[in-house]
Amino acid sequence: MSKITFIGAGSTVFAKNVLGDVMMTPALQEFEIALHDIDPVRLQDSENMLNNLKATSGSRCRIVSYPDRREALRGAKYVVNAIQVGGYDPCTITDFEIPKKFGLRQTIADTLGIGGIFRNLRTIPVMLEFAKDIREVCPDAWFFNYTNPMAVLTNVMNTDGGVKTVGLCHSVQACIPHLFKPLGLDMEGVQAKIAGINHMAWLLEVTKDGVDLYPEIKRRAAERQKEKHNDMVRYELMFRFGYYVTESSEHNAEYHPYFIKRNYPELIERYNIPLDEYPRRCIRQIERWKTMREELVNNKNIEHTRSHEYASYMMEAMETNNPFRIGGNVMNTGLITNLPKEACVEVTCLVDRNGVTPTYVGDLPPQLAALNRTNINTQLLTIEAARTRKKEHIYHAAMLDPHTSAELSIDDIVAMCDAMIEAHGDWLPKFH
């Protein structure tokens, strides 16, 4: 029996989406679904939920929980990763509260900036342990990474880990709906071309019946921008740089030096920026789980409709050889010609029995490539810090981060990094 392994299976809602999709896919019915999580209670919750779903759906998939990660991976054909190292308490709290003491405010802190750097540094060693197991017990497996920071972790798994890895993010799928619906535009028949890096990929072309829709998009966006709404940062970037960016305004507010500034507090109000947004979401999710758990975990009548998550469609394409198109995060093997070859980029990929085949983009418009490179600089220095265990590269990553460097002096950046290292304690490897 072929095996699909889900690491971080205690993410019960996400496991329902991805693995529920698998159970709804005819080509995947003979697979074992192997579940692994370091939290035995959450692991049991997900197993119960999936067994109930198996009964209501009539799926033939076999559901097995594995306390031992290596055994969960043994013989796997596909591995789905959805872990979060350190969780909300203590690590997310640390990511927000320490920088705040230095006057650095954040919104999400899971991709770039000081929060993203340290999320990477505590996650990379864990991911490389996964890679070691995969090389030994399922070396031909495809690794579908859903964990943030997407670009760095996907990069490390491919380069240092030696594992066939593609990073999967919702922002490409959501880009057109998020742009079109509030502007009252019809998505039917729209063609789009998107490329860049994760959370900062660009809607390079958007047409319908050969007509460029950007002029009408910008006209309607200019009208909408006169009132408060939740996408003001992305609109501003589109007006200034010419193109719409895939990831949300709360994310992009902290990827650039323009929006969150102590000396210009009015910008927070002007662009409707939700500071400390991610901790609020975490608290809401923790509270919601208390009531959701019963209706999800022990619901004998649970049902599922196949979601828009890429994973099951990719597995189906690889099994049946019916091609499927995704926006995937892959290494830049000459795909985007004015971004570094060491970078992980987000481009259209074709999935079939050959695996994941990325498509060639060429040069991005120069201003977009320049914005991407500001983020890639910090990503690559974070990887260097993880590889060498040298504190100086943590400092370099932070000093090159657009938002951090716009707010703090060099001395304060170094002091903040030292405070973050100390506060993380054993969640990090030792740096020298």
Q: Is the pLDDT of residue 243 over 90?
A: yes
Model pLDDT for residues 348-374, shown as the tens digit of each residue: 999 999 999 999 999 999 999 999 999
Query: Confidence class of residue 294 from pLDDT cuts 50, 70 and 90?
Result: confident
- Residue 295: predicted pLDDT: 85
What are 6's strand-pairing partners? 35, 80
Known binder of ligand: residue 175? no
Are 10 and 26 within 8 A, CB to CB?
no
Per residue in 22-73, pLDDT (tens digit) is: 999 999 999 999 999 999 999 999 999 999 999 999 999 999 999 999 999 9
Instruction: Kindly name the residue from 170, 178, 229, 256 that is annotated as catalytic.
Output: 170
Distinct helix (H) and strand (E) counts, the chain: 17, 12
Per-residue model confidence (pLDDT) at position 83: 97
pLDDT of residue 270: 97
**Would you place residue 415 in the very low, low, confident or very high pLDDT band (cuts 50, 70, 90)?**
very high
The answer to whether the predicted template modeling score (pTM) of the entire model surpasses 0.95 is yes
Name the band, by pLDDT with cuts 50, 70 and 90, for residue 298.
confident
**Domain 3-169+297-310 part of CATH 3.90.1820.10:** yes
- Which residues, other chains included, contact 84 with Cβ-Cβ below 8 Å and sequence gap of 6+? 8, 11, 147
Could you report the per-residue pLDDT of 61-119, keeping only the tens digit for each?
999 999 999 999 999 999 999 999 999 999 999 999 999 999 999 999 999 999 999 99
| Cα(192)–Cα(301) distance, integer angstroms | 39
Buried b (16+ CB within 10 A) or exposed e, 138-160: beebbbbbbbbbbbbbbbbbbee
Instruction: Judge whether 148 is annotated as a binding position.
Output: yes
Domain ranges of the chain: 3-169+297-310
Active site (annotated) includes residue 170: yes
- What is the structure's pLDDT at 394? 98
